[in-house]
Amino acid sequence: MAIHFDVVRDGKQFSARPDSAAVFAIGSKVRYRNKKTGVERFGLSNDSGHFGSAEAKKQLYLASDYTGVYPFWAQFIEPTAICEGQSFISLNTYDRARFTFGFGQFAAHVPDGDFIRWFRDMLQRPEALDYFPNLEVQDGRIVKVEEHKSIPMEDATSTQPLQLYFNPTLDDVEDAEVVAAAKLIHWTNSHPEARLLQVQHMINTARRLTKESDKRLGLDGVGADLCCVVMDVRHQGRAGFDDLQKALLAAKPFEALLEVGGDGEPERVKNLKAALGPRRAELKKRKWSRSMADFV
Amino acid sequence: MTFAEDLAVVARREWTRWGGPSEKIDGQLIGFSASRMEAKHPFWTFVGEYWESIGSDLDGRDSPAWSAAFISYCFSQAGAKDRFPYNQNHSIYVAGIDSGNFAGLSLEDPGTTSLAIGDLLWASRSGDDCRPPPLTFIDAQKEVKKIQKKKAKSFCSHSDIVVAVRDGEVDVIGGNVKQAVTRTTYKLDTQGMIKDGRRTFVGVIKNAL
Q: What is the ipTM of this complex?
A: 0.91
Kindly list the residues from chain B whose CB atom is less than 8 angstroms away from the CB atom of residue A139: 35-36
- Which one, of A119, A115, A117, A141, lies nearest residue A128 by Cα? A119
Q: Which of A196, A141, A125 is nearest to B156 (CA)?
A: A125
Biggest alpha carbon–alpha carbon distance for chain A: 64
- With CA atoms as reference, the chain A residue closest to B188 would be A69
Per-residue pLDDT of chain B in tens (209 residues, 90 and over written 9): 999 999 999 999 999 999 999 999 999 999 999 988 999 999 999 999 999 999 999 999 988 999 999 999 999 999 999 999 999 999 999 999 999 999 999 999 999 999 999 999 999 998 878 898 999 999 999 999 999 999 999 999 999 999 999 999 999 999 999 999 999 999 999 999 999 999 999 999 999 99
Tell me which of A141-145, A156-160, A264-268 is least confident: A264-268
For A120, the closest chain B residue by CA position comes to B198
Q: Which residues does A22 contact at the CB level (< 8 Å), separation at least 6?
A: none
CB-based contact B197 A124, cutoff 8 Å: no
Q: Which residues of B touch A121 (CB under 8 A)?
A: 27, 197-198
| Interatomic CA distance for residues A175 and A25, integer angstroms | 14
| B50 min Cα distance to partner chain A (Å) | 23
A-chain residue closest to B198, CA distance: A121
pLDDT tens for A103-139 read: 999 999 999 999 999 999 999 999 999 999 999 999 8
Chain B interface, mutation test: which of A119, A139, A209, most B Cβ atoms within 10 Å? A139
Burial letters for B125-139: b for 16+ Cβ neighbours within 10 Å, e otherwise? bbeeebeebbbbbee
**The sheet that has A91-92: what strands, in order across it?**
A5-10, A13-18, A24-33, A40-45, A91-92, A100-101, A106-107
List CB contacts (< 8 A) between A69 and chain B.
187, 189-190, 195
- In chain B, what residues touch A207 (CB-CB under 8 Å)? 26
- pLDDT class for A53, splitting at 50, 70, 90? low
Q: CA of B77, closest CA in chain A: separation in Å?
A: 30
- The model scores a pTM over 0.95: no
